C-alpha cells in the first residue's frame, strides 16, 4: 500500500508527538536530585542531611505541625545514639540481557565496595541487598529437562538461571558481597511464578546454592542487629493449619524486614498445578502477619519495621490506579496487611514491579485518591523496579507514556531511567536515595524521612480527588 503525502506527514507527526511524550515522561522529576555527589563518602552524605525541601508534598510529610514528624521514643528507645547505620540496597526486575542491566551492575558493584570499605575497622555500616522480585529477567525457573530446548524459550532450569552474561555478572557482584560476610535476601515476583515452580528460587541461610540470596520460603522476617548480623527471625510450620512464630525479643534489633510474596493475592498464579502453592503462600502470609501483629503489640519499643514486597502499595507507574495495568493500590492489598499498615506497624514499604524509581515520604494522599481510605499513620514507600528494563527506554512502548501512568500517587522523587534504590537507616531518620543513570551519567536523588512520625490528626486536609484517567472498575478487597 502506498501512502499519500498527507498520510505520510500525519504518520510522521504522530511519531514525533509520541517521541516527545516519551521523552517528557522519561525525565527525572523532583527537587531532591543532584543534592549531593555520587562519590561522597557515607559519613559526608549522612551529615549532609539532604532534604527534598522544594517539594510541597515532601515538606508537608516532614512538618511537625502537619504530620507530627518528631523522632518517636517508641522507635528509638532501644537504639543507641552511636548505633550503626543499616544500608539497604534494593532493586527489582533484574538480570535481563540489556545494556541498562550492565550499567546498573557496575554502579551496584561500586556502591557495595564503598559500603564494605566503610565497615573496615569499627562496624558502623551494615549493608544488606534486597531483590524485589522478577529476579530472573525474562525467564522463570522450572524443572526443565536437559534436552527440552522448546521449554527453555520461556522457562529455564536452576542450573541455567545465571548463565546469561548480564545475569551472571549481577550474581557475581552480590555473591562477592555475601562471601565478604554480608547479607542478601529476596522476595518472589509475578514472573517468578510463571513456570509453576517458585519454590526453586528458595535458598536456606548458610546454603551456598545457585542463588545469590537467602529466601527460605514464600514469606519470612529478617532482623538486622547492631553487631552486623542480618538473619531470618521467623519460622512457619506447614500442616492443616499453617502457623508462624517470630524469635522472642532478646538483643535489640536495628531494623525488622517483613518480606512477603504478593503475587498470590495480586496476580493469578501461573503454570500448571500452581494453585496449591498459591494457597499455601497466602495462608502462610496471613499466619506470618498475625505473628508480626502479636510481636508489635507485646513490645513497648520495637525496631524500625519495613515491608518488602514485589507489588507496591501505591505507585505512580503504569501499575498504579488509573494506569495501563492497575493492580497496585491499597484497596487491592490483602486485608490482613491493610490493617497493619493502617495501625502504623510498618514505617515504610520497599517494592518493585513498576520499572521506575520512586520515593514518596507519605503515601497517605495517594491512598485517599486510589482507595478513598484515610490511613491513621504515615507510611513512606520506595519503588525500585528499574534494574534492567526501565520505562524510560526507547522500547518501553505505551507504558512509557504519561497518559498511561497511575493517577493517584504523586512521588517526591521519580525517575523512568535505569537504576536502584538505597536506604540508610539511622537512629533518627531514613535517608532514601535513588541512583539513576540519566543523560549519560549517574545521578543521585535524596529524601530524608524522620523516624517515629506521629499519628495523623483526626481532621486532615484532603488532596484533590478528581477522577483518574481510565480508572479500572475492579472492586476493592473487602475489609
List, for residues 294-308, the tens digit of each pLDDT value. Answer: 998 876 667 899 999
Q: Which of 186-195, 237-246, 273-282, 324-333 has the lowest mean pLDDT?
A: 273-282
Average pLDDT over residues 116-139: 85
**Taking phi first (over 0 means left), then psi (-120 to 50 degrees means alpha), and beta for anything else, what does residue 434 get?**
beta
Is the pLDDT at 40 greater than 50? The verdict is no
> DSSP for 216-266?
-SSSEEEEE-TTS-EEE-EEEE-SSS-EEEEPPS-SPPSEEEEE---HHHH
Average pLDDT rounded to a whole number, residues 442-463: 88
32-450: CATH class: alpha beta
| Distances from the Cα of 42 to the Cα of 89, 117, 122, 410, 442, angstroms | 14, 10, 14, 29, 17
pLDDT at site 202: 97
* Segment 203-249, tens digit of pLDDT: 999 898 999 999 999 999 999 999 899 999 999 998 778 999 999 87
29-38, 91-100, 273-282: the lowest-pLDDT one: 29-38
Averaged pLDDT, 16-42: 52
Cell numbers at 263, concatenated: 503475587
Instruction: Write down the mean pLDDT value for the chain.
Output: 81
pLDDT bin (cut points 50, 70, 90) of residue 50 is very low
pLDDT for 76 equals: 44
Cα distance between residue 328 and residue 302, in whole Å: 28
Q: Which residues fall within 8 angstroms of residue 74, CB to CB, at 6 or more apart?
A: 300, 301, 302, 452
Pick 20 or 216 by higher pLDDT: 216
pLDDT at 42: 41
pTM: 0.84
State how far the Cα of 425 lies from the Cα of 173, in Å rounded to an integer. Answer: 23
- Pick 45 or 237 by higher pLDDT: 237
Could you state, in order of their start, the residue ranges of all structural domains in the chain? 32-450
Amino acid at each position: 500500500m502506498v501512502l499519500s503525502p498527507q498520510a505520510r506527514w500525519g504518520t510522521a507527526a504522530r511519531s514525533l508527538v509520541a517521541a516527545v511524550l516519551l521523552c517528557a515522561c522519561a525525565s527525572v522529576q523532583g527537587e531532591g536530585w543532584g543534592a549531593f555527589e555520587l562519590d561522597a563518602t557515607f559519613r559526608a552524605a549522612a551529615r549532609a542531611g539532604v532534604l527534598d525541601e522544594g517539594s510541597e508534598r515532601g515538606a508537608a510529610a516532614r512538618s511537625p505541625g502537619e504530620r507530627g514528624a518528631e523522632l518517636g521514643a517508641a522507635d528509638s528507645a532501644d537504639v543507641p545514639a552511636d548505633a550503626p547505620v543499616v544500608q539497604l540496597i534494593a532493586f527489582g526486575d533484574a538480570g535481563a540481557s540489556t545494556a541498562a542491566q550492565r550499567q546498573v551492575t557496575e554502579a551496584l558493584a561500586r556502591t557495595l565496595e564503598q559500603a564494605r570499605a566503610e565497615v573496615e575497622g569499627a562496624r558502623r555500616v551494615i549493608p544488606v541487598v534486597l531483590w524485589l522480585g522478577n529476579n530472573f529477567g525474562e525467564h522463570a525457573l522450572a524443572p526443565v529437562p536437559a534436552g527440552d530446548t522448546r521449554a527453555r524459550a520461556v522457562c529455564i532450569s536452576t542450573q541455567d538461571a545465571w548463565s546469561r552474561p548480564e545475569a551472571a555478572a549481577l550474581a557475581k557482584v552480590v555473591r562477592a558481597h555475601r562471601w565478604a560476610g554480608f547479607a542478601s535476601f529476596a522476595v518472589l515476583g509475578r514472573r517468578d511464578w510463571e513456570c509453576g515452580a517458585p519454590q526453586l528460587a528458595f535458598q536456606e541461610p548458610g546454603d551456598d546454592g545457585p542463588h545469590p540470596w537467602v529466601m527460605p520460603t514464600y514469606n519470612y522476617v529478617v532482623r538486622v542487629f547492631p553487631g552486623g548480623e542480618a538473619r531470618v527471625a521467623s519460622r512457619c510450620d506447614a500442616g492443616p493449619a499453617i502457623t508462624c512464630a517470630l524469635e522472642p525479643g532478646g538483643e535489640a534489633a536495628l531494623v525488622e524486614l517483613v518480606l512477603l510474596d504478593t503475587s498470590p493475592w495480586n496476580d493469578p498464579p501461573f503454570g500448571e498445578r500452581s494453585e496449591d502453592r498459591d494457597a499455601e503462600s497466602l495462608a502462610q502470609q496471613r499466619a506470618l502477619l498475625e505473628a508480626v501483629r502479636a510481636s508489635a503489640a507485646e513490645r513497648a519499643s520495637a525496631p524500625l519495621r519495613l515491608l518488602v514486597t514485589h507489588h507496591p502499595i501505591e505507585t505512580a507507574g503504569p501499575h498504579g490506579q488509573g494506569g495501563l495495568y492497575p493492580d497496585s493500590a491499597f484497596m487491592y492489598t490483602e486485608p490482613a496487611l491493610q490493617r497493619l499498615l493502617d495501625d502504623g506497624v510498618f514505617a515504610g514499604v520497599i517494592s518493585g514491579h513498576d520499572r521506575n524509581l520512586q520515593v514518596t515520604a507519605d503515601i497517605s494522599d495517594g491512598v485517599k485518591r486510589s482507595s478513598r481510605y484515610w490511613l491513621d499513620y504515615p507510611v513512606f514507600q520506595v519503588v525500585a523496579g528499574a534494574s534492567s528494563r526501565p520505562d524510560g527506554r526507547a522500547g518501553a512502548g505505551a507504558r512509557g507514556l504519561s497518559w498511561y501512568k497511575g493517577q493517584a500517587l504523586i512521588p517526591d522523587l521519580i525517575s523512568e531511567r535505569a537504576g536502584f534504590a538505597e536506604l540508610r537507616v539511622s537512629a533518627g531518620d531514613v535517608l532514601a536515595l535513588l541512583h539513576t543513570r540519566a543523560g549519560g551519567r549517574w545521578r543521585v536523588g535524596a529524601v530524608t524521612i524522620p523516624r517515629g512520625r506521629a499519628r495523623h490528626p483526626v481532621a486532615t486536609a484532603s488532596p484533590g480527588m478528581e477522577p483518574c484517567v481510565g480508572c479500572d472498575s475492579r472492586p476493592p478487597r473487602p475489609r
